[in-house]
Amino acid sequence: MSYLDQIASPTLLIDEKITRANLKRMADKAARHKKKLVPHWKTAQSHEVGRWAREYGILEVTASSIKLAEYLCGQGWENVHIAFPFNVREISRLNKLAAAQSLSVQIVNPTTAQKLASQLTERVGFFIEIDAGYGRTGVHISDHETIGKILEEARKSDKLYFKGFYIHPGHTYYTADKSGIYEQSRQALHALKVNYQSEYPNLLTRVGDTPGCAVMEDFGDVDELGPGNFVFFDLMQAELGSCTKADIAVCLAVPVVDISIARKEILIHGGGVHLAKDVLTDASGAKNFGEVVVLTESGWIIPADRSFLKSISQEHGVIKASDSLMASVQIGDLLGILPVHSCMTADCMGEYLSLDGKKIDHCEGTH
């Protein structure tokens, strides 16, 4: 039976071949530059996709929350890093996990370091997150006083040990000067390494964001790369130049429920609860919540004439259709939607359907 015959309502499809190609390309790039690839698993959030990743020599992974870390524990990862400023109310959960799994956390202030140092019952590593220009979170690159206080608190415990410095240059998503931002991040991490390596000779530096890791070829003396979205990519990454639309590995299959010939619009069952509400806006101000692809027995085809999701509400989506799509579509058909933000779409859907008809796990499908 075709995978298409299993679909009656919005369903997130995954193309294993494209996913594996994305994993291999980034793993090969890391190996070429003699860097360790530690992908951020907030995008895939899947045991099965994790098994594919390990086939390409990816042995460590990053989680966005302790819930995702719990899901990833016991799956063969050498270490699971929680790349979010650690929430001290979850120390008891961390202790439970760390009894059986190598873990590391992210620290951005001395208070968190003090509470971890005093309450940990298991050995846990930590990175200090550095803000080198993004402005979302982290210790400012010039704030050596705070860095020193964090390290001082950690030295009071034999359970909390320093692994290194982490930068997420998320502003690569908002500016064309990715090389300039990466140069800033490289210089920041190099300076920190020079300052602290004599006391911590094994310290590591990690940089993680897909736009930079996908397009850059000079990572300096950074030790580890930690991108996440590259596993699936999406329309936002295609617009940023990180990939082509052909590299996007997931697609939301949606049923057609109505067609307006006069408006050249197609109503689908597929809205914010399936795709989230990430949006791209073109030069004319038109909003794009996803682009239409044609589903086939072996996956999907990107049509020559663009049709896009012009608006969404909770369950509804309205497609602005090309002439060729209007001429071929019928009520009850299935269309594919390439997501603007694959991480959020996967999180909304909570599982995948492979092109050979198998359900593939996702952390959010477990509750």
CA distance 305 to 328: 13
- E strand or H helix that includes residue 111: helix 110-119
- Half-sphere exposure of 36 toward its Cβ, with a 13 Å CA cutoff? 13
Supply the pLDDT for residue 173.
43
Supply the pLDDT for residue 366.
57
Counting beta carbons within 10 angstroms of the beta carbon of residue 228, is it exposed (0 to 12), middle (13 to 18) or buried (19 or more)?
buried
Look at residue 27 and give its three-state secondary structure: helix
46-100 residue pLDDT tens: 999 999 999 999 999 999 999 999 999 999 999 999 999 999 999 999 999 999 9
195-241 residue pLDDT tens: 999 999 999 999 878 887 888 888 888 999 999 999 999 999 999 99
Supply the pLDDT for residue 171.
44
CA distance 332 to 197: 63
Q: In which residue ranges of the chain is pLDDT below 50?
A: 170-174, 367
Supply the pLDDT for residue 155.
97
Supply the pLDDT for residue 283.
86
Model confidence, pTM? 0.94
Nearest to 47 by CA among 72, 65, 22, 81: 72
Supply the pLDDT for residue 28.
97
Supply the pLDDT for residue 176.
54
Show Cβ contacts of residue 101 under 8 Å, excluding neighbours closer than 6 positions.
73, 74, 77, 80
For residue 120, give both structure tokens: 């940990």
Long-range contacts (CB closer than 8 Å, 24 or more residues apart) made by 274-277: 274/10, 274/12, 274/345, 274/348, 274/349, 275/309, 275/312, 275/317, 275/337, 275/339, 275/340, 275/344, 275/345, 275/348, 276/341, 276/344, 276/345, 276/347, 276/348, 277/312
CA distance 296 to 335: 10
Please say whether the beta carbons of 334 and 317 come within 8 A. no
DSSP states along 211-238: HHHHH----TT--EE---GGGT--HHHH
